[in-house]
Amino acid sequence: MPLWVVLAGFLLAACGNDMRDQPRYDPLAPAPGWPNDQSARVPVEGTVARDESLQPVPDTLPEPLTRELLERGGQRYEIFCSPCHGDSGRGDGMVVQRGFPAPPSLHGAHLREIPLRHFYDVIENGFGRMYAYGARVPARDRWAIAAYIRALQLSQYAKLDDLAPRQRKQLQRESREDTP
């Protein structure tokens, strides 16, 4: 049997309208015969939407602030944030030096007072021209970066009164030793 006869048989078999004209319901349209006459079903208990997290994200750092966490945050900041925000967080990174619009300085009064959760959210979802890093930066690293940003801010705006008395004395002693 010639090949064209076989192909023609397949094509003719596909000409029916049964596949194209199947009964269906538009979303949320009434559906007589179904429970509650509804075409849409109630999601099964425990169903999680694609963009919904299983765990609520806390408003504050969910783990103890440690030196290791800050160091990890500094490493991640250098990789993901410093190209635009710069090493100091002033918005003067290498990408900006090459002509890309500058992001706001992380040292502005508004950003120094904003809750830590804001930085976590911006890293995850992006903001303005900033790309969303939620798929690239794990949640723990987002918190580490947020903590590091706060440390950067404190390093520029710390007051002597913010230090413990022992640290204040040590700093004063060191500054006397540095003066000729």
Residues spanned by the domain of 129: 67-156
- pTM over 0.75? The answer is no
Q: What percent of the chain has pLDDT over 90?
A: 53
Mean pLDDT of 66-74: 97
The number of distinct structural domains making up the chain is: 1
Q: Is the pLDDT of residue 11 over 90?
A: no
What's the alpha-carbon Rg for the chain, to the nearest Å? 29
Give the separation between CA 40 and CA 25, rounded to whole angstroms: 9
CATH code of residue 126: 1.10.760.10
DSSP assignments along 35-89, one per residue: GGGBSSPPPPTT---TT--SSPPPSS-SS---HHHHHHHHHHHHHHTHHHH-TTS
- Residue 151 within any structural domain of the chain: yes
| Distance set, CA 102 to CA 13, 86, 120, 129 (Å) | 62, 10, 20, 10
